[in-house]
Amino acid sequence: MNSWLIDGTGLLGAALVVLAYCMLQLERLDPRGLAYNVINLVGAAGLVFSLCFNFNLASFIIEIFWIAASLLGLFKLWQRRNGEQQPGTEG
């Protein structure tokens, strides 16, 4: 595979993770929202893709945790939205 594609995917992933963090600090994204978690997930996935070709164990481990945290955030969002769509089903 072309090294520019691998590096480009990793750089785009890094840019997305940094963008999500900056937007969070500027209070432009809700940390519990869809956009923040998807941007982080896609960014971390891009970094993992590039790490499959230029492996670094420490970076790989942190990105796996980043993906897991993003998936957890998306699951919690799904739970909240699913709960809001079913009023009156308690007790």
Instruction: Give me the residue spans of the domains in the chain.
Output: 3-84
Q: What percent of the chain lies above the pLDDT cut of 90?
A: 89
What digits encode the pLDDT tens for the residues 57-80? 999 999 999 999 999 999 999 999
* DSSP letters for 24-76: HHTT-S-TTSHHHHHHHHHHHHHHHHHHTTS--HHHHHHHHHHHHHHHHHHHH
Cβ burial of 4 (10 Å; 0-12, 13-18, 19+) is exposed
pLDDT at 32: 96
